[in-house]
Structure 1
Amino acid sequence: MMLVFDILLRKMVKTLTISLIKKYWKRQKGQKTLPECQSVIYEWSKFFRSGHFGFSIIKNDYNQNDVIDKKKIKEQPIVKVDYSKFEKRINLISTPTLEGVWSDGTYKVGIIKTVDGYSGFIINADKTSWTPNQLKFLINNNKEKADLWMKDFSKRENQKVDIIGNNLINIGNVLYLKRLSRTYEDTQEIKDYIKFLYAGNKSYFQILSGKTAYIRIPAFDLDYKKQIDSAIAANSANIEKTENLIIDVRYNDGGADTSYEKLIPFLYTNPIRTVGLQHLSTPLNNEVMLGLSKNENFDEEHQKAYEEAYETLNNNLGKFVSLSDEIVKVKKLDKVLPFPKNIAILINNGNASTTEQFLLAAKQSKKVKLFGTTTSGALHISNMSDVVSPDGNFELRYGRSKSYRIPEMAIDDKCIQPDYYLDNSITNKQWMEYVRKIMEE
């Protein structure tokens, strides 16, 4: 029976693959520009791997405006509006609406109410092919979804709209608009939310109440390790005397494992088991290890370890190589801190890679609960590298290692689940206060 099932499965996979090849072979014939080529290759590759993969245009002398389909520019819808009258009218609106003048730094747009919803039209867009009054996006009447036209006039439909207070709009995590006129006062809750989640890549700490402290870690990139360590060190005394701790890693899409080392002592209750991985040894891949051995963000101990790893990999070219004698490493600390007693970690689908590795470690603690939504699911194939195509037009980003967790503890495409699911009736802006009340009550 199993043999029959295996044969049927292989035939199905073969049929699907052939169908996919035919589909994209037909599509690629009509592609004439770099963006069109990049789009087809990216979509084709995503069939095989959804996370920890990238394919982008990097050619230095490439000017997107020179190759945009002129027909698309000509056919782009126009919003008929007298801008001078529009500007005078919005300055008289006392109650906040979406109508107003907004900007993301590249596009200055006006938003006006129309029959179809809220039309975002171009006011000014220097160094692009966009011209005044062209329709940039259309937000539907319930203000939840939008159709958005990208820089090259390609259309993205049904993009999620997140209205943040009175003066910020996030469309599809692509277009972040700040209101220019007229602006309105936000509540303290909104101000805090913006301060926590939209303050760039700098770590942030705050005492929320006598029982709860909060720390925001927006990224685990190696370049940010020093400032993460500094933020934790500067506030460790407060953390160690506070009953509850909220660690906010929403939209933190990873970086380097060493960047979260200083958080582990606060959540530690019992030995933490970490399943190892194997590196694919090739001359190109191994050069990364050599570079890490000279990276000043690491101390001498880490640099030496990377140098030894480089030598081991070079002695085993063409193989998957484990850099440790142990498939599973067990981390033991000398003590369990009495405070914080309870730790909540805020997570969402913006979490991937190293952040998911951190969550797997944190979940083993008796102190920790995860609050939010499922993560992205990009961890099995890891340790990212990039390489430029022979013609110099594109850059490929790919993973150099695979986890021993596969297939028993699959994360990719399955994601890490929260212990407490925060459904849509609890807005992103309310998460922190909602979780604080749960911990304190």
Structure 2
Amino acid sequence: MKRLLLCLAFNMFSLSMYAQQTGCNCAVTLEKLMKKVEAEYPGFGVKTKDGSSYEELKQHLTREAKNADSSACEKILKKYTDFFKDPHLWVGSNGSPFSSGSSGSAASLVIDIPDFREKIKLTRDTLEGVWSTEGYKIGIKKGSRNEYTGFIIAAASTQWKAGDIKFRLFPDGSFEYLMLDRSKKTGHYHMHKKSILFLDAISMALVREVPSPSVSAAQLEEKLTELTGFYFKKLSARTSILKLPSFEYRHLQKIEELISQHRMQMEGSENLIIDLRGNPGGTTDAYQQLLPYISGKSIRNTGTEFLSTQTYIGNLQTYKKSLDKNAPTDQIDKQIDKLKENLGKFVNFSGTDKPAYIEKVELAAKSPRQIVILADKGTGSSAEYFLFIAKQSKKVKLLGTPSSGALDYGNAYQVDFGCPGYEVFIPTYRAMRLPDYPIDNIGIQPDIYMDSSVEDWVEFAVRYVEE
């Protein structure tokens, strides 16, 4: 379930033009993408059972692609992959998916920025001011109906210019935010000590610059770590919290060190809260050290079937070459051989056709009596699988909202499909619990739903385990 997704800024126009200059006009690009998905997407057969709908889509998009320019072509390609409703299947460029947004540019605010910066020094409004976050300096100005507009003062990306409207804040505590590709995200915002503005659904923290923050730099850093970083903290004599915002492979060492450093405190806690809100997943290796503390003596895992393709074989061979020369490769060699023997077929590496397998867990000598896991719509992929297996434990309760819903088809790779400048992110396996227990676009359901009236989930969780 390792994900190879890179989040990089890119210029879609220039990349698309490059693709067309090398012989891949939109019609050719669409045709190659369709052939790639039809041959290598593990969910293709199930999701095109109604053949007429799929054929109608192909014919419609093929007609559109004949005269499409680069911008229109990106939307056509996205319409095609969106048909499958799989969060792990998308088309894009340079590691980012294309947007279906209708606007190629952001709305702008007509404002004298130097004048705004000078006048805002005297404001007593808790939201108005100049704020900063990674890659952006943003002004927030109050408008009519108690709504606020966040506009660009400066941006690292050339796709945003001064005055462009980046987000809006509404009186009910909700926000609308434009991502790099102008796609819209919504969620709720929270203010901390009049100095940090946190947008929950995108895990973004903005720090106030003007007027000056009301807390010290050390206090700011502590709160920022609490909101967006990895940490372990004692909340009371009985309860501790472990915050893990990502399971991506680049954070694996940090997670292992964090758990190792606080192992005794974790074992000595009566209650443990594990905060996975906004965790997009990554590698299942990231949570292995937690299993002895949350599980029963065994875990019932979902079986998987890999679609054998030359692309996947090539990916495994590349991975094998990247290993240390002394690393054992017997297992990966067996997998490659089995895939080569079954090209075009589904392969189960577990050696059984059963839809599940049992994993024995050596329990920790001491562990928390109660465990609460916080999860939301931003909790996805391997973080969702952690929820899936954690819910099997009698001492675990899941608090929050339904998770992302991206778990039916996994182990996705970013691959070329024959047109330079374009890539498709495509899964390699399907879960054997299908079709009886789908999770994609549904999510793992919480034991206790956190409605919008619950402002502080951690405080709620502490009361839940200690009362």
Aligned to 1:183: 212
Q: Of the candidates 237, 249, 257, which is equivalent to residue 264 of structure 2?
A: 237
Deviates most, 180-189 or 316-325: 180-189
Q: Distance in 1 between matches of 2:286 and 2:156?
A: 39
Q: Deviations over 1:44-103 (max 9, x none)?
A: 3112133112221239xxxx9xxxx9x976xx755343334322321112341x211123
Aligned to 1:351: 379
What is the SS of the residue equivalent to 1:91? helix
| Offset, 1:417 | 0.4
What is the SS of the residue equivalent to 2:357? strand
Unmatched tracts of structure 2, length 5 or more: 1-46
Q: Distance in 2 between matches of 1:375 and 1:22?
A: 35
Q: Distance in 1 between matches of 2:157 and 2:381?
A: 35
Q: Of the candidates 276, 280, 285, which is equivalent to residue 312 of structure 2?
A: 285
What is the SS of the residue equivalent to 1:246? strand
Aligned to 2:21: none
Aligned to 2:413: 385
Q: Distance in 2 between matches of 1:372 and 1:289?
A: 37
Q: Distance in 2 between matches of 1:421 and 1:437?
A: 15
The equivalences for 1:313-332 within 5 A come to 313-326=339-352, 327=354, 328-332=356-360
Contact 2:280 2:383 in 1 (8 A): yes
Q: Distance in 1 between matches of 2:80 and 2:351?
A: 37
Q: Of the candidates 35, 59, 69, which is equivalent to residue 32 of structure 1?
A: 69
Q: Distance in 2 between matches of 1:285 and 1:108?
A: 42
Q: Distance in 1 between matches of 2:319 and 2:48?
A: 44
Q: Distance in 1 between matches of 2:320 and 2:55?
A: 44
Contact 1:377 1:416 in 2 (8 A): yes
Q: Distance in 1 between matches of 2:437 and 2:326?
A: 32
1:109 aligns with 2:135: no
Q: Of the candidates 87, 99, 106, which is equivalent to residue 51 of structure 1?
A: 87
Q: Of the candidates 168, 193, 201, which is equivalent to residue 197 of structure 2?
A: 168
Report the TM-score, using the length of structure 1 for normalisation.
0.81
1:175–1:360: structure 2 CA closer, same or farther, 3 Å change rule?
closer
Aligned to 1:365: 393
Aligned to 1:195: 225
The root-mean-square deviation of aligned C-alpha atoms, in Å, is 3.6
Aligned-partner residue type, residue 319 of structure 1: K
Q: Distance in 1 between matches of 2:245 and 2:166?
A: 29
Which structure has more RCO (C-alpha within 8 Å, separation ≥ 6)?
2
Contact 1:270 1:365 in 2 (8 A): no
1:21–1:366: structure 2 CA closer, same or farther, 3 Å change rule?
same
Aligned to 2:31: none
Q: Deviations over 1:308-352 (max 9, x none)?
A: 322322232221111112333212235464531111111111122
Deviates most, 169-178 or 312-321: 169-178
Aligned-partner residue type, residue 263 of structure 1: L
Q: Distance in 1 between matches of 2:430 and 2:94?
A: 27
What is the SS of the residue equivalent to 1:261? helix
Aligned to 1:7: none
Unmatched tracts of structure 1, length 5 or more: 1-9
Q: Distance in 2 between matches of 1:378 and 1:345?
A: 18
Q: Distance in 2 between matches of 1:17 and 1:84?
A: 54
| Offset, 1:371 | 0.8
Q: Deviations over 1:111-165 (max 9, x none)?
A: 22223632333433466265444444444454523374x656x5x5673352442
1:103–1:22: structure 2 CA closer, same or farther, 3 Å change rule?
farther
Q: Distance in 2 between matches of 1:206 and 1:213?
A: 6
The equivalences for 1:247-258 within 5 A come to 247-258=274-285
Q: Of the candidates 168, 174, 188, which is equivalent to residue 144 of structure 1?
A: 174
Aligned-partner residue type, residue 131 of structure 2: W
Q: Distance in 2 between matches of 1:14 and 1:311?
A: 33
Alignment length (residue pairs): 411
1:322–1:192: structure 2 CA closer, same or farther, 3 Å change rule?
same
Q: Deviations over 1:155-208 (max 9, x none)?
A: x56733524423325386397643321233369999866423312xxx321122
